Amino acid sequence: MLTNELKNRTDQAEIVYFKHPTTHYIHRPLWMLYWRMLIHTPNNSLVSAFSLWTDTHKNSKRQQCGITVAGGNRQGNGINQLSNPCGLYVDNGQTIYVAEWSNHRIMEWKRGATSGQVVAGGNGQGSGDHQLDNPQDVIIDKERDSLIICDYSNRRVVRWPRRNGTSGETIISNISCWGLTMDENGSLYVTAYGKDEVRRYRRGESQGTVVAGGNGYGNRLDQLSCPQYVFVDRDHSVYVSEWGNDRVMKWMEGAKQGIVVAGGQGKGNDLTQLSYPQGVVVDQLGTVYVADR
């Protein structure tokens, strides 16, 4: 069962499978795919942003049609609508949490629901404790039963009560957060878009530690360029997608530089290439899944 999020983009997006440790590549086109595809649920179904694909057997061909599970009623700000949805999180009960860039809110959609519920923001665009400004990503901190949100344009990471919360608490300031995830120890990993690095924040830390990049903008193996989304495996290796370098890098715990595990062959649509990669997730066999814009 995968425990981290794969984040994707909708505009003619597709998922690229990079088979590890070989160099076998497979493309799977996906429609209605937004910023992220999330988890393998216990019944081995793939949950993608706003559509559901099932995979009944590891050798079977994935279905090419999806079931809309959130939105789908045109762009808007109604509770049955979405507007530029970005980050997605699915909990163990298959409740979906969506970060809406243009509506400045986090929506909760229960399984089978035809409309959602605002659980954070939704009070107009702004920087108040009760507001969000272009939220980019959202996860759940199960231990504290709270949402953790990349409040991108406010340059902060916010903790918001998961139930009946009316305002949030800034836990990280002055960071252009694009993506985030949490490991099994409760450590938070955040991509800093403007600083070209990924930082890990253990519980109680305010400054964090650089675990990927941090050596300026560039394409060297010790650098990142416009990091997007992040995945952390059980060994605490960090996988990060890069817009600027069209690649996915793996940084093992404590490493001073990463290794390219997907792309890195220039921008393009060849099976060895990526173009503005977004979401990334890695399964237990080491296969890397990338949302390739």
DSSP per-residue codes, 122-164? -S-BSSSTT-BSSEEEEEEETTTTEEEEEEGGGTEEEEEETTT
Q: Tell me the residue type at 246.
A: D
Domain for residue 279, yes or no? no
Measured distance CA(61)–CA(222) in Å, rounded: 37
Q: Tell me the residue type at 95.
A: T
Domain for residue 19, yes or no? no
Which tokens is 35 given?
Answer: 């910023």
In sequence order, what are the residues at sequence separation of 6 or more whose Cβ sits closer than 8 angstroms to the Cβ of residue 47? 37, 38, 39, 41, 69, 90, 94, 96
Domain for residue 51, yes or no? no
Domain for residue 142, yes or no? yes
Domain for residue 91, yes or no? yes
Query: Residue 126 belongs to what domain range?
Result: 69-170
Q: What is the pLDDT of residue 52?
A: 40
Side-by-side strand order, sheet with 188-192: 177-182, 188-192, 197-201, 209-213
Q: What is the pLDDT of residue 55?
A: 44
Q: What is the pLDDT of residue 10?
A: 33
Q: What is the pLDDT of residue 62?
A: 56
- For residue 283, count CB atoms less than 10 angstroms from its CB and return exposed for 0-12, middle for 13-18, buried for 19 or more: middle
Give me the number of domains the chain comprises. Answer: 1
CB 273 within 8 A of CB 264: no
Measured distance CA(283)–CA(87) in Å, rounded: 19
Domain for residue 150, yes or no? yes
Q: pLDDT tens digits, residue range 201-230? A: 999 888 899 999 999 999 999 999 999 999
Domain for residue 228, yes or no? no
Q: What is the pLDDT of residue 193?
A: 87
- For residue 189, count CB atoms less than 10 angstroms from its CB and return exposed for 0-12, middle for 13-18, buried for 19 or more: buried
| Distance (Å) of CA 14 to CA 64, 208, 216, 291 | 11, 33, 30, 6
Domain for residue 121, yes or no? yes
Measured distance CA(190)–CA(133) in Å, rounded: 18
In sequence order, what are the residues at sequence separation of 6 or more whose Cβ sits closer than 8 angstroms to the Cβ of residue 164? none
Which CATH number goes with the domain that contains 123?
2.40.10.500
Q: Chunked in runs of 10, what are the mean pLDDT values of the chain (293 residues)?
A: 35 43 32 35 32 44 72 93 90 93 96 95 97 96 96 97 93 94 96 94 92 97 96 96 96 97 95 92 90 84
Measured distance CA(58)–CA(149) in Å, rounded: 33
Q: What is the pLDDT of residue 164?
A: 87
